[in-house]
Structure 1
């Protein structure tokens, strides 16, 4: 039986002294020690703390002493197309000014500021920059500078997207020289590469950098990373001008996510990764002209998404050798995703002799953007992944191809493999096919997989309507019936069409 909870409001005490009944109101919230109240209030968004503190003068004093400030304009819509302003919420600029002026504590462990962040997440695909708040960067920089003067700042999280970001006021340089900072997240459209200071972040362990544009040769990112000797988690997502080089050298780095978008679909001249203790790698960019990647023996997961190959006189053979060079550094991974144009130059004879052996690989995703047929690639990866358990086709399984190539693929599927790969004999238990249309070529590939996957337990197929109109969508029930009637080597395999 649940015990009833007493309301945490006020209580009335009765006193019959001198035959008079005295009423004394006790505020339980105000009776909580200041240290406990400060800790509790520091866990809440600052606007909720401000709303709570109007209940008593004691709580108002607590507002001045909290050790975290979490401020954002999410209750306010700046977009004329989606007016959802909360009229009782005070002016955001006035609110921030009052909070920062009232804060009296010398210690501040975390500061988070969101300006235009809610608009960016919800309406970026339907609104222009005029939907973003018209807050001057010079004012925002003054807000950021105040917490940097406090002691003990460990986490700084800025998500700032304003209407006119480039007014000659870069971010405060103190951000990049804070001696106590351990977590730095910058998701801004303010200029970050114009800060004139020597970077030095001796305790920083996490750096997430998502910026709209970085000018120059890419040295900003390299210099910033090299100033963080304890860095473990790094994310860089940015639009760059023509990049001469991206050099990431960090012996402490364990997680690295790199998304580089270049102007006019250009390519990085030189990519250098010197991260011997890396465990997770996500690379999303065009293929670099040249690269130097050290051995990554500790790598567990890798996702390589080549957006485009080299736009120059380089041949597909050169591109293939570049991508193979990346793959040779990933031989110890147990989770691998090869997406985008990774497989585009791999349609060659003898590929299985060129691929490295992935002896620990249990999960593999093979993309098909710009790739036409599977008769060489599929066999090579099955042979070179001896303990593979899950095989996923995340993109369109079949694209248009020349009639001769289609014929070769169909012959390959009918003929099958002379020797069943070890993964198909003992380990491959799950196959997932996304964006499936049910045409003859796809059915042929499924027949090939079902024929060779001796211990397969599950085949999952999902359709994507309307992605490619030249591929008609088949009825789900009819497709399920067709697939269920296909012969399969594993009697325990279930087939599901989602």
Structure 2
């Protein structure tokens, strides 16, 4: 750097480097650099990334003024850039933006070879994307989020380079057929996120993508479950599924699955919930499974998941507190006396259990300890149990450690190690069956 102040070091950088630096700024701030000098006036035209957000553009009292100003700003930016190549285009807008103006913006960036397209269109009127979005030969990353009328209507789909597809809060015109048609036009797809896709109203939902490696699905309604779900993803290695168990699975191909996250944040009413053991497919290659617990929801699907994961090695619970119900099966005590339980855990291959949010509800601490004791008693292959206990009190950690020491020495296998970790105190306690307690 020239510390004497006699030379403008930044302005002496090559144009391509300066444009690359500007690409990391929000578009409004990057565009403002054009007033610095004659040289900087035209640098913005070569910025490969555009990040346009009407919520941070202006904040006048007149909402019509902000909408008009923002639309004029986008028009000027695109006109200034002309036909220069574009890598990323991110557009986040609320209601008040004229849909007629949006379509030319999208077509503009598609014609310029955009590879990363992020559209968050929070409109209060119905809006359909131009068909060119589904026929773009350069798209590698596509994210679609909509407003009150979230609709995708696809005719022809050909996205030969697309590897990541993220769809949020969206309905398909042809229901399950529309999703199937969209996915069939993505021969290179590796990552798929379907967030709040209401496929429970469809007669049939299908995700059939041979190249898919990672799938995340989330639906937050509590009173419905999907009727029929087909998963034909032979190369899938990661699955995060937040939904109720489907009525049936006519085909499931998850031969490569290694890690799965099953959230119990969503639950159908008891009279509508299908039999979890019958419906849940077999996961032969699954080695890591995460269960998210919630006090309002039971563990109905957990027994089926464990029974149908014959090679499971690591089981992670994000909290132990769940709704007590007779349908939780034999993975917990719930409403059944201990002597009446013949647990499927006794044949479980799980070697490691991690319990996050341990002690989060101090009123239920005794129930949590009973559940831990139950795991230790009934799982013969268990080698390690790790409890993550966040508390600001050293005394709490000491007391819990002492209780665990007494519990483990009575019920755990001689090869099992129990660890209590408190990140807030930078403190780790290890309890083994020989009575050692290490800090």
On whether the aligned pair clears a TM of 0.5, the verdict is yes
Change (3 A) 1:53 1:369: same
Paired position in structure 2 for 1:6: 2
User: What displacement does 1:184 show?
Assistant: 0.5
Task: Say if 2:54 is the partner of 1:102.
Answer: no
Q: Alignment partner of 2:188: what SS?
A: coil
CA distance in 1, matches of 2:116, 2:438: 49
Q: 2:245 aligns with which of 287, 295, 298?
A: 287
> 1:246-395 residue pairs with structure 2 within 5 A?
246-261=205-220, 265-308=223-266, 318-322=275-279, 325-326=280-281, 328-329=282-283, 331-339=284-292, 343-344=299-300, 355-356=307-308, 358-365=310-317, 368-372=321-325, 376-378=330-332, 380-381=344-345, 383-392=347-356
What is the root-mean-square deviation of aligned Cα atoms in Å? 4.4
Change (3 A) 1:315 1:372: closer
Paired position in structure 1 for 2:336: none
CA distance in 2, matches of 1:287, 1:356: 14
CA distance in 1, matches of 2:150, 2:254: 30
User: What displacement does 1:375 show?
Assistant: 9.3
Larger radius of gyration: 1
Contact 2:264–2:298, Cα closer than 8 Å, also in 1: yes
User: What displacement does 1:250 show?
Assistant: 0.7
Alignment: residue pair count: 404
Paired position in structure 2 for 1:68: 49
User: What displacement does 1:202 show?
Assistant: 0.7
CA deviation digits over 1:171-198, x for unaligned, max 9? 2221111011101011222755343531
Contact 1:53–1:59, Cα closer than 8 Å, also in 2: yes
CA deviation digits over 1:324-361, x for unaligned, max 9? x33x22x43332123455722678xxx99x82454351
Paired position in structure 2 for 1:44: 25
CA distance in 2, matches of 1:175, 1:8: 52
Change (3 A) 1:421 1:357: farther
Change (3 A) 1:69 1:488: closer
Paired position in structure 2 for 1:422: 381
TM-score by length of 1: 0.67
CA deviation digits over 1:256-283, x for unaligned, max 9? 0011345x82221110100011111011
Q: 2:179 aligns with which of 221, 225, 235?
A: 221
Q: 1:491 aligns with which of 418, 426, 435?
A: 435
Paired position in structure 2 for 1:477: none
Contact 1:8–1:28, Cα closer than 8 Å, also in 2: no
CA distance in 2, matches of 1:112, 1:8: 40
Change (3 A) 1:180 1:421: same
Paired position in structure 1 for 2:102: 140
Change (3 A) 1:447 1:383: farther
Unaligned runs of 5+ in 1: 12-26, 117-132, 401-405, 464-483
CA deviation digits over 1:47-100, x for unaligned, max 9? 2221222111222222223222222235358698xx9x9x99x93233222111
Paired position in structure 1 for 2:118: 157
User: What displacement does 1:287 show?
Assistant: 2.0
Contact 1:271–1:290, Cα closer than 8 Å, also in 2: yes
Change (3 A) 1:389 1:103: same
Paired position in structure 1 for 2:128: 170
Change (3 A) 1:78 1:290: farther
User: What displacement does 1:307 show?
Assistant: 4.8
Change (3 A) 1:376 1:268: closer
